Chains A and B, each alone.
Chain A
Amino acid sequence: MDAYRDQYAKLFNDGRDVTLLAISTDDIGALASWAKDAKYPFTFLSDTGGHVGRQYGAFNPAYKLDNRTLYVIGPDGTIVHRAAPFREVDPMAYTDLGAAIAKARGGQ
């Protein structure tokens, strides 16, 4: 999440026409306190039952946690890019993500 925060302006156009939603199975209180402490400029969603994680093929039933999975959804609601798994330590993963977001925004 620190990488998203630190690249927020560049990757996510500072949230102007891009919405970043970070989803985990944590309860909303845990996410709110973490967002506050780390000053994250984006929104966290609490999927405690893993229902949405299952819908998106991110939920790992063995650990009852979501695997790092990333989707870019275009303005018309269609999935335009997917990284499953998202390799958060690989700088190229952010290059690909940035390109996918720029392409999606270009279609607006």
Chain B
Amino acid sequence: MRIAALTLAFGLAACGAMTAQEPLEVGTKAPDFTLPAATAEGIVKPVQLSELRGRTVVLAFFYKARTKG
């Protein structure tokens, strides 16, 4: 019983570590990515973050289209 409880505790801890969502620290390199893009004019060519080097970039993650904020 005790071993089962310990196994469960370790299992939960491992799951927690896998799903942990830690924001990136200031001073670190922003990981590169390429994603499908759209503007008010419609769908445009995908954006690769590293192509924007030389400009200041603001990444704003948000919940869902057509919600406030």
Contact = CB atoms under 8 A, between A and B. Distances in A.
A binds B: yes
Interface of A: 1-4, 12, 17-26, 28-32, 34-36, 38-47, 51-61, 65-82, 84, 86, 88-89, 97, 101, 104-105, 108
Contacts of A20: 57-58, 60
Interface residues of B, number: 43
Contact of A19 (B31, B57, B69): B57
Main secondary structure of the interface of A (DSSP, over half): mixed
Contacts of B66: 30, 34
Contacts of A40: 39-40
A61 B21 contact: yes
Contacts, number: 182
Given A36-B42, A79-B30, A58 B52 contact: no
B54 A75 contact: yes
Contacts of B29: 77-79
A105 B53 CA distance: 12
A55 B31 CA distance: 7
Contacts of B63: 24, 65-68
Given A21-B47, A22-B62, A43-B38, 17 more contacts: A20-B58, A24-B62, A26-B64, A28-B38, A31-B38, A32-B42, A32-B43, A34-B66, A35-B39, A46-B35, A52-B31, A57-B21, A73-B57, A75-B55, A78-B27, A88-B69, A108-B56
Contact of A77 (B30, B43, B47): B30
